[in-house]
Chains A and B, each alone.
Chain A
Amino acid sequence: MDFLRPATWDDALAAKAELPDALPVQGGTDVMVEINFAARRPAALLDLTRIGALGDWDTADGRFRVGAGVTYARLINELGARLPGLAQASRTVGSPQIRNRGTVGGNLGAASPAGDAHPPLLAGGAVVEAESAARGVRMIPAAEFFTGVKRNALAPDELIRAFWTAPASGPQYFAKIGTRNAMVIAVCSFAIALHPAERRVGTGLGSAAPTPRRAPAAEEFISAELDWDGCGPLPEPARRRFGELVAAASAPIDDVRGTGAYRAHALAVLARRTLTWAWNDHRKEARRCA
């Protein structure tokens, strides 16, 4: 095994082009587990932690561009108020030690169906910035990024540079089922984001299908159902139907963490609950503006 330590982003892209089997490692919270348990022996580890630029975030065109090396801890502290859904999900990742090392970039690279960052990225309409030495930058919407269990849309010579997402334009929530409040891989999870200016609701499901995914039918239904102008209360039948449509969008399996039937049921509950929280917040906000 080789250990590659590029000092610059260009060097990293060149190394990945030359050795496509090199496994990128950032915080190591997924990669090192596989190495420690001899589950994986890549041709090389490509250490990206020396590239300072990956640890930066900034704003452009009204969106955040968050470098692949920004840890969960920094995301919570520095961007939590403006990306509340992603911050809530980040707070549920592992433990303080894990959040000090783990990154959203790494979560995207691993592309686990249970990755905590994925549902809020989907609900918020995030875009992944990938890059290769040969073809330059490619922008991949989160909804097209996950292609299978632990598989993503990256080409063998591509690396994740950053993700792009707009600051919250309305209430956002994330909810996750697990056996305790820390150190838990999601049994299932759900994220919701209201986009009031577009009269649209975004969703993201985790641990509920081979890949993280949206629930498009549920989004369409509830976006049309909500009283965006009058900010009226959420009708109970609509709330219930939204939960059913979210559950219907899932394709969960039975495994050690839960049964498929339990996951589908729990998703409907999480969807109803987070929708209620988000809509109540929106009504409060709207009353202030009126």
Chain B
Amino acid sequence: MRVNLTVNGAAQAVDDVWEGESLLYTLRERMGLPGSKNACEQGECGSCTVYLDGVPVCACLVAAGQAEGREVRTVEGLAEGAPGDERLDPVQEAFAEAGAVQCGFCTPGLIVQSHDLLERNPAPTDAEIREALAGNLCRCTGYEKILDAVRLAAERKATR
């Protein structure tokens, strides 16, 4: 089937989508957007987190057909500026600077979820950060550097 959706601001039509296919598969395998990672395929790990109509969700649990007419924003769509001259979002910068990235597999999902947290709550407490990121698993960092990164991003956004 054909699915029409807007991804990172661009309206697109995707053909040959299987009816049982997840939005994650469509993004990665049909639209050339491998930023959202495919790990658990059951909503346990958060590494496929994307915005769907402005709300962070696990793309692996959205049927591609449910995205018809909707707006999707992936980690690839967080940087601002013209292609070739993009500026990373403060959350992305903070993750790189704080050393919140080791193998990097969980990073895109954590960045989208942290981005949403700071949009809704610009100065979260540590408990609020932990609660917001409870559905994003990281097996490398032990999470401390990730918490540092979110705190750093909050500071940066506040002074921008």
A contact residues around B1 at 8 Å (CB): 3
Interface Cβ pair total, 8 Å cutoff: 90
A95 to B135, CA, bound (A): 5
A182 to B130, CA, bound (A): 10
Interface residues of A in 183-223 (CB under 8 A from B): 183
B contact residues around A45 at 8 Å (CB): 19-20, 63, 65
Docked-complex contact B44 and A183, CB < 8 angstroms: yes
Is A28 on the interface with B (CB-CB < 8 A)?
A: yes
> Which of under 10, 10 to 19, 20 to 34, or 35 or more describes the interface residues of B?
20 to 34
B contact residues around A25 at 8 Å (CB): 63, 66
B contact residues around A95 at 8 Å (CB): 43, 46, 134-136
A contact residues around B41 at 8 Å (CB): 33, 36-37
Is A41 on the interface with B (CB-CB < 8 A)?
A: yes
A27 to B113, CA, bound (A): 18
A200 to B136, CA, bound (A): 41
Q: Which of B29-37, B52-60, B85-93, B94-102 contacts A (4 or more CB under 8 A)?
A: B52-60
Is A181 on the interface with B (CB-CB < 8 A)?
A: yes
A139 to B146, CA, bound (A): 48
Docked-complex contact A182 and B135, CB < 8 angstroms: yes
> Which of under 10, 10 to 19, 20 to 34, or 35 or more describes the interface residues of A?
20 to 34
Is A286 on the interface with B (CB-CB < 8 A)?
A: no
A49 to B70, CA, bound (A): 11
- Shortest B80–chain A CB gap in Å is 24
A101 to B67, CA, bound (A): 13
DSSP majority for the A interface? mixed
- Shortest B143–chain A CB gap in Å is 13
Docked-complex contact B63 and A32, CB < 8 angstroms: yes
A contact residues around B135 at 8 Å (CB): 94-98, 182-183
- Interface residues of B, Cβ cutoff 8 Å to A: 1, 18-20, 22, 41-44, 46, 49, 55-58, 60-63, 65-66, 68, 113, 131-132, 134-136
User: Which 4 interchain pairs have the tightest Cβ spacing?
Assistant: A95-B135, A182-B134, A3-B19, A36-B41
Q: List 27 A-B contacts (CB under 8 A).
A: A1-B19, A2-B19, A3-B1, A3-B20, A25-B63, A25-B66, A28-B62, A29-B58, A32-B61, A32-B62, A32-B63, A33-B41, A35-B20, A35-B63, A36-B60, A44-B19, A45-B65, A96-B135, A97-B43, A97-B46, A97-B57, A97-B113, A98-B58, A100-B56, A182-B131, A183-B44, A183-B135
